[in-house]
Structure 1
């Protein structure tokens, strides 16, 4: 069953919301990098949060890139997401391991760290992308995206992301929601929402009980108070093909390619998004060089 993202608005026009079930996608992601339980949790939170944020602030073919670097042992987290529901990302140290935190859960905050920034670059399809940057708030990722939405986008929001991973690294559930205030929301409305959020059952618990993204929002606001606007399938970006990597290699200077051929007799490329290894043997590299040399580049 395909993963879904739903966009909704409360019937009183005071809040808009996005909710997502990304369980199947995360099951696939978990196989890519031989990641630890903690590494999969971190990447999943970043992928889900970025998908929701892209659907909240982008439109059409626009996309964004999220970089989280808190100087923690997990290293840097990089995600690309689109308004069309596609996403990909990686953690530079996906095998990171730490003791469980005080709540006996994967210690995402300690692994990510807070000595750094969350950076979002929005690509509008023009020559001038927009970049926003905020200091990391907690390293929990959901909190940091909440802080970014308020400070950089000027959209007060609550971002909740959940990835439940078994100790063996297999994904049980993955999902989340984002609620943003609209101009008609009063301080009292916001206080009431914060109370509901504080008492809201764990996302993973609800998902294990079979609740869908729409159900999560109905549970939060009440059955009669939410209007579902759109439903979008979410998927990983298609993997980069060997042909596309050959085109990338061909952009290198000719003398650099010739040096690689003489010294290494081929090229091994590791796709950071999927962990897959792409090899170009001596003959294939010679063909790239010959084609480049023939064009005079």
Structure 2
């Protein structure tokens, strides 16, 4: 199935449900960053969480940044996701691998670490971005983002994230976000029903590996609660906005003296994007052109 995001409501609009399939984009990131199994799971979960959080925003240019900083060997995780369905991200130590945890699954919590913080920045497309910080709960990502939603956004939420990666790469990845909105939050029976059904899930990736579609998963959870699947399936994909032109713009900010030093010592400049691992080169003529531009701009002032 293609990477996609589907939205739905239930209980007369009192429940918001969003599901995402992110298998292909997670595999692309695994290949780009040469990720270990556990690093693939950690970054894949975080990218899916970012897309799910961004799905409730309004302006097309809205974006969510998630940064995870635990005390585990994986180091930091940074993800940038947009309402437009694009996402990118990286981990500091992509080659870290750990033995399976006590239930035989990839030890994401051990790799990330349970002591640390989750940082979320919501850029709504105007004004100052909204930022929030919460302590990590387990390092498993899903628990930590749920903790953020409940404590920072004051919204009862349940988040299920999963990445299945084996010798052939990522074969299933995605997640499900359920939120009880204020109009239904006082219905204790409804909340208890949702909690019971989510607890009965064996995970999200097993459903995808059985070729269950997002609407079918919604139906099994909310079909008897007035489920309304919203029109429009949003396609999701990995995208990084880096470019050679941006490299030149960044180099220009260094000033003439630093650019001349690069010409003399290095014979040019090279930069690797942390998000997509694309490598950009600027040769001597490119740097000299930047120096000339700076001189011309200085003479005009």
Question: What range is the shorter-chain TM-score in?
Answer: over 0.9
> CA–CA distance in 2 between the matches of 1:205 and 1:221?
19
Q: What's the offset of the Cα at 1:252?
A: 2.0
Runs of 4 or more consecutive aligned structure 1 residues displaced over 6 Å after TM superposition: none
Shift of 1:42: 0.8
CA distance in 1, matches of 2:159, 2:225: 23
8 Å contact kept, 2:143–2:159:
yes
Aligned-residue offset at 1:292:
2.5
Alignment RMSD, CA only?
A: 1.8
In the alignment, which residue of structure 1 is the partner of 2:139?
139
Provide the secondary structure at the position in 2 that maps to 1:138: coil
User: Which 10-residue stretch deviates more, 55-64 or 80-89?
Assistant: 55-64
Report if aligned partners of 2:240, 2:275 keep a CA contact under 8 Å in 1: no
Change in Cα spacing, 1:58 to 1:73, as seen in structure 2 (3 Å) is farther
Q: Is the 8 A contact 1:218 1:225 kept in 2?
A: no
Is 1:158 paired with 2:138? no
CA 1:278–1:223 in 2, change beyond 3 Å: closer, same or farther?
A: farther
The yes-or-no answer on 1:7 pairing with 2:7 is yes
TM-score normalised to structure 1 length: 0.93
- Count of paired positions: 296
Alignment partner, residue 265 of structure 2: 263
Check whether the contact 2:2–2:21 (CA below 8 A) recurs between aligned residues.
no
For 1:292 and 1:44, locate their aligned partners in 2 and report how far apart those are by CA, in whole Å. Answer: 42
Unaligned stretches of 5+ residues in structure 1? none
Q: Distance in 2 between matches of 1:240 and 1:194?
A: 42
- Offset at residue 86 of structure 1 (A): 1.3
Output the CA distance in 2 between the equivalents of 1:71 and 1:193: 33
Q: Deviations over 1:168-190 (max 9, x none)?
A: 36111011100000222411111
* Match of residue 207 from structure 2: 206
Segments of 5+ residues of structure 2 without an aligned counterpart are none
**Cα displacement string for residues 9-51 of structure 1 (whole angstroms, at most 9, x for unaligned residues):** 0143331100011112122112101111111111100000110
Q: Which residue of 1 is the match for residue 172 of structure 2?
A: 173
CA displacement at 1:239 relative to structure 2 = 4.3
* Aligned partner of 2:288 among 258, 262, 286: 286
Cα deviations across residues 120-169 of structure 1 (Å, max 9, x unaligned)?
11112334211111111110001111000011111111111111011x36
